[in-house]
Amino acid sequence: MTILVSACAADKAPPAPPPPPPPVVNPVTHKPPPAPAYPGQKTKVQSAVDAERLLNNVGLTLQWISWDTRGSVAVSRNRGLWSLRGSQTEANGPGRLFLDGSITEIGDGYFTFEGTIRISDTPDRGRNCEKKKIWHFAVTQNRKYYRLREFEWCDDLTDYIDIYF
């Protein structure tokens, strides 16, 4: 009788291991592009050079966080509409920059962005600026970046947001 009980216990399979945790995903580079808000909504591309610069950008900065360590920007296309999503995080502090929206026009040395820009805890803790609107970025003085042209959009501090190419 004892042998029979042992044989039954030996046939029992060990419990299944728990499923692996989901992979860590970078929200900047792995968010699917938004579908056009209106059927037929497309980005107006007037400059192939600037379109290529945006697709192959090499990051973004907000001067309060760092000009030396860039954040990342993902530019993608979905059914003719270009989207832009980017962020920069202060290395040893709470400062954050976040952009998310659609590129409505790309021209010679500029692009127009419709979406949200959020700055938090920089240059001072507790500073929080967020606005959704149409923004303008442009290259000036042959620089290697597009700079946000609305400098004092939040609280009269000058914010330099640059997207590099």
Q: How far apart are CA 93 and CA 22, in angstroms?
A: 27
Q: How far apart are CA 83 and CA 77, in angstroms?
A: 6
Mean per-residue pLDDT over the chain, rounded: 85
Is a pLDDT exceeding 80 seen at residue 7? Answer: no
Nearest-CA neighbor of 134 among 94, 97, 84? 84
Mean pLDDT over 137-155 rounds to: 95
Q: What percent of the chain has pLDDT over 70?
A: 76
Asked if the bond preceding 18 is cis, omega within 30° of 0, the reply is no
Looking at residue 37, its pLDDT comes to 58
Nearest-CA neighbor of 64 among 164, 1, 163, 157? 157
User: How does pLDDT run across 89-129, given as a tens digit for each residue?
Assistant: 999 899 999 999 999 999 999 999 999 999 999 988 989 99
Give residue 119's Cα distance to chain centre: 13
Domain boundaries, the chain: 39-164
Exposure on the CB side of residue 71, measured as CA atoms within 13 A: 27
DSSP string, 21-59: PPPP--HHHHSPPPPPSSTT---EE--HHHHHHHHT---
State how far the alpha carbon of 5 is from the alpha carbons of 12, 15, 95, in Å.
11, 19, 64
